[in-house]
Structure 1
Amino acid sequence: MEGENAGSALPPMHPAIAPLSFLLGRWKGQGEGGFPTINSFAYGEELLFSHSGKPVIAYSQKTWKLASGEPMHAESGYWRPKPDGSIEVVIAQSTGLVEVQKGTYDTESKAITLQSELVGNASKVKEITRVFKEVDGELSYVVQMATMMTSLQPHLKALLKKI
């Protein structure tokens, strides 16, 4: 009945996001980062993928220093999967940088590949790619970045478990 789940925690899932439903929930784990122009570092991370019944997945991320728990980075945005296997993603970072990304998803391999169409409000970053993959209940990702000084290089990678 229509009005009966008004008090439930989650609205019905929109069919457009069903192919990426494996992402939904809270993920936590550790990652490592580096780049030719900075020292390597390790971090803790939590991702949250949620939905409101609309054809979009809300995304938020936060990282912290492993030793102290001090906050490091945060970003949030929206993921819009399309029926043809393409996906549009917008992300705003706590640094002020914004990303408009397009890519593809594969429901069988549970993989999402994103390529920046636009990196805005960034003085040095000119390109960002992100690849997410879920294997055996763990979510891994690799972020690559290009700057005015470098070609596309590995920047971040992490392995997260659903909590």
Structure 2
Amino acid sequence: MEGAGGYPSAAPAPPPLHPAIAPLFFLLGKWRGQGEGGFPTINSFAYAEELLFSHSGKPVIAYNQKTWKLASGEPMHAESGYWRPKADGSIEVVIAQSTGLVEVQKGSYDAENKIIMLQSELVGNASKVKEITRAFKVVNDELSYVVQMATNITSLQPHLKALLRKV
């Protein structure tokens, strides 16, 4: 049945899960929590965060992230992209950040232990950032991650870490 403007009047049923993303089914959904960041060249900070991993029935997971200041709720950062897991345990990821920076990452996943490790192949449109790694892990329905970064004046160092729960 159609509603106004030819759009369906009821939400469509979710598409079937593509077999290629089935090993990362544990990521799908909305996650919220808090994190902290820092780097030798900036002051430390705390933030709240929401991650959304979704799918459209294709062999790719859509990724959306946003953060905001804990005290004021003021927006801080946002990024989005796509994760393409492969049957051999490898994964390809592209992420565009609100700062204009773009990451092309490759890595691996361990579906049994719910771990994803990513390493930048390319960091585009970044005058200072040279390398980014991301490590995600789900334990007892909590998603934790650590982001490390290297710049033109620093080696690879911790930058962000957070703990989120599925909502």
Tell whether the structures are fold-level matches, with TM greater than 0.5.
yes
Of 97, 100, 106, 1:102 maps to 106
1:47 equivalent in structure 2: 51
Q: Partners of 1:24 and 1:147 in 2: how far apart? A: 32
Q: Would you say 1:36 and 2:25 are equivalent positions?
A: no
> How far did 1:153 drift?
0.3
- Aligned CA RMSD, in angstroms, stands at 1.0
Alpha-carbon separation, structure 2, partners of 1:9 and 1:147: 45
What residue number does 2:128 align with? 124
1:159 aligns with 2:163: yes
Structure 2 counterpart of 1:84: 88
Alpha-carbon distance between aligned partners in 2 of 1:17 and 1:8, rounded to the nearest angstrom? 20
Q: What SS is found at the alignment partner of 2:20?
A: helix
Aligned counterparts of 2:48 and 2:149: Cα–Cα separation in 1: 20
Secondary structure in structure 2 of the residue aligned to 1:14 = coil
Question: How far does the alpha carbon of each residue in 1:5-42 deviate from its partner, in whole angstroms, 9 at most, with x for none?
Answer: xx633100000000000000000000000000000000
Cα distance in structure 2, aligned partners of 1:139 and 1:8: 28
The amino acid that maps onto 1:155 is H
Equivalent position amino acid for 2:165 in 1: K
Deviation, 1:108, is 1.0
Greater Cα radius of gyration, structure 1 or 2: 2
* Corresponding residue number in structure 2 for 1:139: 143
Deviation at 1:161, TM superposition (A): 0.1
What residue number does 1:115 align with?
119
Which one of the candidate residues 11, 14, 18 is aligned to 1:14? 18
Query: What is the rounded CA distance, in whole Å, between the counterparts of 2:68 and 2:49 in structure 1?
Result: 6
Q: 1:66 is matched with which residue: 64, 70, 78?
A: 70
Task: Name the structure 1 match of 2:27.
Answer: 23
Q: Give the Cα–Cα distance (whole angstroms) in 2 for the partners of residues 62 and 9 of structure 1.
A: 26
Q: Which amino acid aligns with 2:128?
A: K
TM-score if structure 2 supplies the norm length?
Answer: 0.93
**Equivalent residue, structure 2, for 1:4:** none
User: C-alpha distance in 2, partners of 1:53/1:108?
Assistant: 22
Q: Partners in 2 of 1:10 and 1:16 — Cα distance?
A: 17
Q: How many residues matched?
A: 158
Long gaps (5+) in structure 1: 1-6
CA distance in 2, matches of 1:34, 1:134: 23
